Amino acid sequence: MTTPSLSEKRLPEQRFLALVFASFSALGFLPIVLLLTLLLPTFSSQRGLLAAPDSKAKPYALIAGTVWGPDDRPVYGVPVKIRRATDKPKKSRWEVYSDHMGEFAQRVPTGEADYILSADLKGFKTVDGRPLRLVKEVTVHIYQDEREDTGLHLTVNEDGVKQSGAAGP
């Protein structure tokens, strides 16, 4: 009577694993890469990278912009207030802050509407201590679900000094 060899004593699953490891050591990463390539779509879930985006997401429009200083450089940390044109002037619906690149963005509902953007500049001054002011409020018109880019420009507040272009006596 002959004793069974070591490979005959193994279960079928163990033989398969032994074959995979033997091919892995002989051929390198190629079998593993092929196996993962074939099985990747099987393991991906419905919300994985290969799936379509969720169609139940609520549509929106986007108001994006940049706050520019008097020296035409972006300004960080400016509170930007956004309100609908039909709202009261002192009531803002959204308030966002400009980032380190001077940029801000706010999602608003879709549909045709006008939005007015302003900046709250309390405590903002130039390097030499002069206060800043917004050149003018910006009106943005949204039609549907689009992105609208704009800019808010700041200038030095020169109280008591006539503005250029102002009619004088």
Tens of pLDDT, residues 76-105: 999 999 999 999 988 899 999 999 999 999
Q: Is-contact 97 50, C-beta < 8 A?
A: no
Higher pLDDT, 13 or 72: 72
pLDDT at 163: 47
Q: Does domain 61-156 have CATH number 1.10.287.3510?
A: no
Q: Give residue-wise pLDDT tens across range 104-151.
A: 999 999 999 999 999 999 988 888 888 999 999 999 999 999 999 999
pLDDT at 24: 58
φ/ψ (deg, to 5) at 68: -110, 135
Instruction: Report the length, in residues, of the chain.
Output: 169
Sorted by where each begins, the domain ranges of the chain are 11-43, 61-156
pLDDT at 156: 92
Q: Give residue-wise pLDDT tens across range 25-73.
A: 555 666 666 666 666 666 555 455 555 556 678 899 999 999 999 999 9
Q: Is-contact 154 118, C-beta < 8 A?
A: no
Sign of CA dihedral 103, 109, 112, 115: negative
- The candidate with the shortest Cα–Cα distance to 35, out of 45, 49, 46, 21, is 21
Higher pLDDT, 155 or 47: 155
